[in-house]
Amino acid sequence: MGVEVSWDVDAAQPPARLASFNSMTSVAAGDKDAWLALFAPDAVVEDPVGPSMFDEHGKGHHGHEGIGAFWELTIAHVERFEFVIRDSFAAGSECANVGTITTYLPGGYRVDTDGVFVYRVGVDGLITSMRAFWETERAMATARQV
């Protein structure tokens, strides 16, 4: 898997922004164990927020077991990820990143997902919540063969 994350890694970062960077890096590297280690035991992932093809009831994926199952359902099937963060807003224990996640899927397909990706961390720096605001229809409209 290719790793392509746009970020100023030399600058000091607030804990939530650093956690979000580490999350993207682990996903792009295809390292499920490293990714899961970034989350608190009772963390919740909502990607996307609300009911979706990944979460019928829109209640999120809870704890390492649920988040690991989310990985297997979604991330594990992607051949390559590219993350481009155009802006990032850190406040308190949270960070909201505005950007595009490009996924390269089997069969030579590419999908660009524009969204706002919000991370919250605990005092230990572990992610307690990751909420991704993006629209399935908009993302699927970008699907194309490359």
Which helix (H) or strand (E) segment holds residue 20: the answer is: helix 15-29
35-48 burial, b if ≥16 CB within 10 A, otherwise e?
beebbbeebbbbbb
Distance CA 97, CA 87 (A): 6
Q: What is the pTM of this model?
A: 0.91
pLDDT tens digit sequence for 36-56: 999 999 999 999 999 999 999
Give pLDDT, residue 111.
98
Mean pLDDT for the chain overall: 93
